[in-house]
Chain A
């Protein structure tokens, strides 16, 4: 039988919570009580075994999955569009008027677009999702390999662009039935980074290790981003499949 007071002291000892006097008291007790000694030793063995357990490395695709799941403009839009107005109205203590005012502006802009058919360039379209790329980057891109496929099952146009550490694949697809596009990278120096498609797009991307599988139907436009750690431009293997059958494949490289 172990005195409950000493059971608590054992727990506190292995947590490093005992004072020197309490530690001394405990050690004197366990020397005289074999049952307490066993319990103390068991906990020490258990905790040292846990200490020896290695940390698990998360799957490589986890980071890309997270970045692909968030709206990168969530805070950017707030800052650039409405933050000043909101601060102004907050300072007046009339936040609800801020929403009414903002809604009025939004309705006005929409009316302008509707009635005057304003052209909004796709680069400025905030409805695009999944980007982590800076708006300055496109100016630094060099064109890489491209392909143009015209088959009964699918029409595809793909252009690669290379920057220092970023590889972009811009893909236009037309397919009456679903097709899959596999993007394969080496997974070490180059890995998937982000994915964009226009709002309402039907594309579905699954990233698994070094392969990104895009499923698409109809007329769609996509942009995929890959991170190239070497900055020297790595190969990007692309395959277009339908029902498991390869329709087209090509290895794309930068143009040095």
Chain B
């Protein structure tokens, strides 16, 4: 089953083959779960959102356009579900505008960023729009154009958000004590 393309599995699923959806689930559950987890940083919430994502994927399979990549579509649904959740909960730390517009501090530098927990904490300090580009670019290794497709924004917007997000992330990490 793993050798079959996503498009074939989708087609089989639409033809009533229940095992085909299980194949898609096996293929993408870990990726989707990780994207969602990086967005919400809570295993139980990530599990709920991942479940909601796959149910939505299943129920909207007819809307999937096979001209596009299936994983981009599933990412898009997962990202939207995560953003909706974060908006509803309103538990995100607001973007620190001072940090976004800060000039670089020449005395600061990152050294020994060894703990993933610190990065996770700082990631959660970014607003979701900025966090998501870091997650897709650096945790999922997606190129600008695919991120643009997933987020429905122009490629130049992805770049500017990504550059700003990195800058904010660096600042937050330096504030956490990663300084020379």
Contact = CB atoms under 8 A, between A and B. Distances in A.
A56 B21 contact: no
Q: Which of B14, B16, B50 has the most CB of A within 10 A?
A: B16
Interface residues of B, number: 47
Contacts of B43: 56, 59
Interface in A18-71: 34-35, 38-39, 41-43, 45-47, 49-59, 61-63, 65-67, 69-70
Nearest to B14: A75
Contacts of A47: 138
Given A62-B47, A75-B16, A132-B18, A67 B29 contact: no
A129 B21 CA distance: 16
A15 B18 CA distance: 40
A59 B47 contact: yes
B59 to A, nearest CB: 7
A45 B174 CA distance: 12
A134 B20 CA distance: 13
B107 to A, nearest CB: 9
Nearest to B180: A38
A163 B29 CA distance: 27
Contacts of A63: 22, 25-26, 29
A76 to B, nearest CB: 4
Interface of B: 13-16, 18-19, 21-22, 25-26, 29-30, 33-34, 37, 43, 46-47, 50-51, 54-55, 58-59, 61, 104, 106, 108-114, 116, 119, 137-139, 144, 159, 162-163, 166, 169-170, 173
Interface of A: 2, 7-8, 11, 15, 17, 34-35, 38-39, 41-43, 45-47, 49-59, 61-63, 65-67, 69-70, 72, 74-76, 78-80, 132, 134
25 contacts: A2-B104, A34-B106, A42-B170, A43-B170, A45-B110, A45-B111, A45-B113, A46-B113, A46-B166, A47-B138, A50-B138, A50-B139, A55-B30, A56-B33, A59-B47, A62-B29, A62-B33, A66-B29, A66-B51, A67-B22, A69-B51, A75-B14, A76-B18, A78-B16, A132-B18
